[in-house]
C-alpha cells in the first residue's frame, strides 16, 4: 500500500537482469499512476512513461512543450506506484548536455529505471510526424555521454533514441546508432522504422538491446510480440495504447449518456467499484492501524 515496496535500485537491477535474459520485455505506456498498477497486475515486464501521453494529458501536442520538472514529477508519481521498472521518455534531455545530466539525476531520484534520450533538434516533435530534424553527430553523442556520465547508479538504463531513419535514411541511422553505442548508450531505440526488414538490419548491425516502438497510426506496421522476438528485439513499448483506448471508451460513453440519458447501458464496460478498490489495495488501508488498536486492547 501507499507506494511500491521494491526500492528503485532493485527495480533497475531486475530490469537489467530481465534484459540480459534475452526475452522480449513488454512495456505498455501508463497514462497515470493507477494504470501502472493495472499493467503490473496483468503481469507485464515494465511500465513506459510516454512524452506523447504526458503532454496529451495536459492537453498539449507532443512538440517539446513539457519541462524536465513536469516530466520528472509525473514519471516519479507513476514509478512509485508500481514494483515494475519504469522507463521514461526524456525527449532530447531538456536542454544542453549539462541539462541532460541533470535530467538523468532527477529521474534517478524519482525512482525511474531508465530513460531514452533522442537526437532530434529542439524543439522536438512526435517521431512519426513529417518535418522533424536531427542534430549533428557531435551534438547527439554529447547528449548520450552526458547522460551516462551524469547517472550515479550504473544500472540506470540509458537508451539512445535515433530519429535519423526518417531524416537521413536507414544506413545513416544505423551509423548514428553505432556511434551512440560507442558513446556509452546501453540500448538503442530506432524510431519510426518502416518494417520488419529495417528492424532486422538494426539487429544485424548492433550488439546492444534494441527497443521497438509499436505506436498506433504511425509510420510502421504493428508487429506481434512473436515477430519482434524473432527479429531479436529486446523491449517493446506500446506508448499511447492505453490512453487511446481510454479516450475512445470515454468518448463513446459520453455519446451514450447524451443519447440515452443514462450510463446504465455502459456498466458492463466499466471497471467496477470492487475492481477499483482491489487495484488500490483498499483493504490494506483499513488494516493499517489495526495493530495499534489491538495493542491498546
Ligand X SMILES: C[C@](O)(C(=O)O)[C@H](CC(=O)O)C(=O)O
In the list 12, 26, 31, 62, the residue contacting ligand X (rule: CB under 6 A) is 62
| Grid cell 558513446 in the structure block, residue | 183
Q: Using an 8 Å Cβ cutoff, are 134 and 167 in contact?
A: yes
The C-alpha atoms of residue 220 and residue 173 are separated, in whole angstroms, by: 16
Min separation Cβ 132 and ligand X, Å: 9
Look up 294 and say whether it is catalytic. no
Cis preceding-peptide flag for 46 (omega within 30 of 0) = no
239 binds ligand X (CB under 6 A): yes
Query: Three cell numbers at 108?
Result: 534517478
Helices (H), 206-240: 225-230
- Concatenating the DSSP letter of every residue in 28-61 gives EBPSSHHHHHHHHHHT-S-EEE-HHHHHHHTT--
| Grid cell 483498499 in the structure block, residue | 282
213 binds ligand X (CB under 6 A): yes
Min separation Cβ 29 and Mg ion, Å: 10
Active-site residue among 37, 48, 102, 108? 48
Look up 230 and say whether it is catalytic. no
In the list 25, 39, 45, 51, the residue contacting ligand X (rule: CB under 6 A) is 51
Residue 56: count other Cβ atoms within 10 Å of its Cβ: 17
Min separation Cβ 50 and ligand X, Å: 3
The C-alpha atoms of residue 102 and residue 109 are separated, in whole angstroms, by: 11
Q: Which CB sits closer to ligand X, 130 or 290?
A: 130
In the list 90, 218, 241, 242, the residue contacting ligand X (rule: CB under 6 A) is 218
Q: Using an 8 Å Cβ cutoff, are 46 and 16 in contact?
A: no
66 binds ligand X (CB under 6 A): no
128 binds ligand X (CB under 6 A): yes
Q: Which CB sits closer to Mg ion, 18 or 129?
A: 129
64 binds ligand X (CB under 6 A): no
Stretch that binds Mg ion, among 22-30, 52-60, 263-271, 277-285 (CB under 5 A): 52-60
Look up 161 and say whether it is catalytic. yes
Active-site residue among 26, 40, 102, 126? 126
Look up 282 and say whether it is catalytic. no
Look up 99 and say whether it is catalytic. no
51 binds Mg ion (CB under 5 A): yes
Residue 163 near which of ligand X, Mg ion, none (CB within 5-8 Å, type-dependent) = none
Residue 41: count other Cβ atoms within 10 Å of its Cβ: 12
> What backbone torsions phi and psi does residue 173 show, to the nearest 5 degrees?
-65, -40
Strands (E), 153-258: 157-162, 187-190, 211-213, 235-238
**Which chain residues interact with ligand X by CB under 6 A?**
50-52, 62, 89, 126-128, 191, 213, 215, 218, 239-240
**Which chain residues interact with Mg ion by CB under 5 A?**
51-52, 89
| Positions marked catalytic | 48, 62, 89, 91, 116, 118, 126, 161, 191, 213
Amino acid at each position: 500500500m501507499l507506494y511500491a515496496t521494491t526500492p528503485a535500485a532493485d527495480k533497475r537491477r531486475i530490469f537489467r537482469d530481465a534484459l540480459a535474459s534475452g526475452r522480449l520485455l513488454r512495456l505498455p505506456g501508463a497514462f497515470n499512476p493507477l494504470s501502472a498498477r493495472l499493467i503490473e497486475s496483468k503481469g507485464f515486464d515494465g511500465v513506459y512513461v510516454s512524452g506523447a501521453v504526458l503532454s496529451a494529458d495536459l492537453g498539449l501536442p507532443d512538440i517539446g512543450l513539457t519541462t524536465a520538472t513536469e516530466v520528472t514529477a509525473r514519471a516519479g508519481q507513476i514509478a512509485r506506484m508500481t514494483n515494475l521498472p519504469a522507463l521514461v521518455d526524456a525527449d532530447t534531455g531538456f536542454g544542453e548536455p549539462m541539462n541532460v545530466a541533470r535530467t538523468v539525476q532527477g529521474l534517478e531520484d524519482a525512482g525511474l529505471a531508465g530513460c531514452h534520450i533522442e537526437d532530434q533538434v529542439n524543439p522536438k516533435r512526435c517521431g512519426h510526424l513529417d518535418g522533424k530534424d536531427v542534430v549533428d553527430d557531435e551534438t547527439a553523442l554529447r547528449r548520450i555521454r552526458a547522460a551516462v556520465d551524469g547517472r550515479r547508479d550504473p544500472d540506470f538504463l540509458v537508451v539512445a533514441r535515433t530519429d535519423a531513419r526518417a531524416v537521413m535514411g536507414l544506413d545513416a541511422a544505423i551509423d548514428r546508432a553505432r556511434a551512440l553505442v560507442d558513446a556509452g548508450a546501453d540500448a538503442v531505440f530506432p524510431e519510426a522504422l518502416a518494417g520488419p526488414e529495417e528492424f532486422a538490419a538494426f539487429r544485424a548491425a548492433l550488439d546492444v538491446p534494441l527497443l521497438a516502438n509499436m505506436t498506433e497510426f504511425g509510420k510502421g506496421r504493428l508487429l506481434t510480440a512473436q515477430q519482434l522476438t524473432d527479429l531479436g528485439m529486446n523491449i517493446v513499448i506500446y506508448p499511447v495504447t492505453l490512453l487511446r483506448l481510454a479516450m475512445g471508451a470515454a468518448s463513446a460513453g459520453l455519446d451514450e449518456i447524451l443519447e440515452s440519458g443514462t450510463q446504465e447501458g455502459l456498466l458492463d464496460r466499466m471497471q467496477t467499484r470492487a475492481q477499483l478498490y482491489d487495484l488500490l489495495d483498499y483493504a490494506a488501508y483499513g488494516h493499517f492501524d489495526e495493530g495499534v488498536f489491538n495493542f491498546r486492547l
